[in-house]
Structure 1
């Protein structure tokens, strides 16, 4: 059925449920898993008043975010291996989360993307946006959304 499943995670309780489901699905179908955490880049603005941040501080903050993201996917890797599922832990550095998810799915030749959704509706969805909705509407790979 599936050969390679991409599961996205930010370490939240909701995404942990998606990870558990993805591991179970991979185990049931004999698929391998790609665990992805998208790490943002540090926002740089030249119009934020008099506060300037040194290049070293930006590098330090971005490294901390990457280390935290790696710890998240490493935990997924441990859980998947315990379940007998072959897994690859990946972080992507991008401010465009949905685009990074789709690019990673393409790069690793995934045939399913598993991700969580908060299920926001109305004004909250409009104001907060939805990375899941963006992936759903633009991905050429099937997407399984869990709440």
Structure 2
């Protein structure tokens, strides 16, 4: 049914639920699992909502974020392998989370994307946006959204 499943994770409780479901589906179908974590870039200007930092501090902050993201995908890979699923962890650095997800699905030739959604509505959705909605409308393969 599926040969390669992309699961997105940020390490939150909700995304861990999506990871568990993705591992179960990959195990049931014999699919390979690609665990993706998108590391944001630190905002560099006042208009992006940041305070001024020197380049060394910026690099240090982004390095910590990347290390945390690597730990998150490593945990998913370990969990998947213990369930007998072939898995790979991928880290991408970008402020464009949804576009990174769609791009990774293409790059790794996935035939399903699994991701969690907070299900924000109203003003929260307007202010915080919806990465899930963007993936749903721009991805050319099936997207399974879990809440």
* TM-score, with structure 2 as normaliser: 0.95
Map of 1:13 onto structure 2: 13
RMSD (Å), alpha carbons: 1.3
> C-alpha separation between the residues in 1 aligned to 2:126 and 2:39?
23
Contact 2:98 2:134 in 1 (8 A): yes
CA distance change for structure 1 residues 99 and 47 in 2, over 3 Å: closer, same or farther? closer
> C-alpha separation between the residues in 2 aligned to 1:53 and 1:42?
10
Residue aligned with 2:20, SS: helix
Q: Give how far 1:13 is off.
A: 0.2
Q: Give how far 1:53 is off.
A: 1.4
> C-alpha separation between the residues in 2 aligned to 1:52 and 1:117?
32
Structure 2, unaligned runs of 5 or more? none
Map of 2:60 onto structure 1: 60
Q: Give how far 1:122 is off.
A: 2.1
Map of 2:37 onto structure 1: 37
> C-alpha separation between the residues in 1 aligned to 2:120 and 2:53?
35
Contact 2:44 2:52 in 1 (8 A): no
Which range moves more in the overlay, 78-87 or 52-61? 52-61
Matched residue count: 145
Deviation above 2 Å: which 4+ runs of structure 1?
none
Residue aligned with 1:52, SS: coil
